Amino acid sequence: MEQEKQTIKSVVDQVVDSIISQIIEGRLTPGSKLPTEMELCAQFGAGRNSVREAVKKLQAYGIVYIKRAEGTFVSENYTQKMLDPMLYSIILQKNSWQDFVALRAVIDIGTLNVILMRQDVAAFLPDLYRTFGELSAEMHAPTPSVERALELDSRFHTRIADAAQNPMLATITEYITRLTLPSRLETTRRVIEGGDIERFVDLHRQMLTIIERRQTDLIPQTVQDHYIFWK
């Protein structure tokens, strides 16, 4: 029985992968209608139950949607849940925090490069400076709150990600932020208790400076320096 369930699951995944491949290759385009259930069965040599499960899975991912009495269609628009399966796999792999630091650094470097290509960089800087000011004030308070400082630090990086005006990039940043929450909470606590507040604040200020001055060449080193405490 268990072996039979694994076989069915394998067939379902094969159908899912095949439909996704057809979308990637352009054989199925956004807004186009999927073949009927019977046609999919014949195309993939799969049973009706497997095809139905595959379609349900694709629907859950936001890759297809169903119109009653009309059929199943390929989604025309990006939705956040399309990234959920990929990002959830990161959790299951139980990567080390060093892997997350490296991943976040790559994302931040790319994000900053995208931002500096914008013509209206000045448009989002006031909000970013406001968040930085709140973070700096909290860190310099007589008794800084670790939780509040972490919240403001997360908001600071979210503001930067949003400035790239790319919903997929913003979603990935949000997921990495959530996945690394325990580690960053401990890092923030060490910074406050260890008296490294000035260095911590200055690293955020440096990130603001390269954006404002469009110092593209300084992005990689600035990002690497930014994670000096997060090891």
pLDDT at 123: 87
List pLDDT tens digits, range 57-89.
Answer: 899 888 899 998 899 999 988 776 776 676 666
Query: Do 154 and 45 share a structural domain?
Result: no
For residue 65, the Cα-to-chain-centroid distance in whole angstroms is 23
Which of left, alpha, beta for 201 (phi over 0: left; psi -120 to 50: alpha)? Answer: alpha
Q: Report the domain count for the chain.
A: 2
Say if CB 43 and CB 35 are below 8 A apart. yes
Query: Do 130 and 184 share a structural domain?
Result: yes
- Asked if residue 226 has pLDDT above 90, the reply is no
pLDDT at 44: 92
- Among candidate residues 54, 77, 100, the one where a domain is terminated: 77
Distance between CA atoms of 87 and 187, rounded to whole angstroms?
23
Owning domain of residue 124 = 84-226
Query: Do 171 and 99 share a structural domain?
Result: yes
Which of left, alpha, beta for 144 (phi over 0: left; psi -120 to 50: alpha)? Answer: beta
Query: Does the residue 171 lie in any domain?
Result: yes
List pLDDT tens digits, range 26-40.
Answer: 899 999 999 999 999
- Among candidate residues 35, 50, 77, the one where a domain is terminated: 77
Query: Do 118 and 59 share a structural domain?
Result: no
pLDDT at 174: 82
Q: Residue 151 corresponds to which amino acid? A: E
Query: Do 55 and 92 share a structural domain?
Result: no
- Among candidate residues 77, 104, 128, the one where a domain is terminated: 77
Q: What is the mean pLDDT of residues 135-153?
A: 95
Query: Do 187 and 97 share a structural domain?
Result: yes
Query: Do 93 and 12 share a structural domain?
Result: no
List pLDDT tens digits, range 164-184.
Answer: 998 888 888 888 887 778 888
Map tokens 């406001």 to a residue: 130
Query: Do 92 and 70 share a structural domain?
Result: no
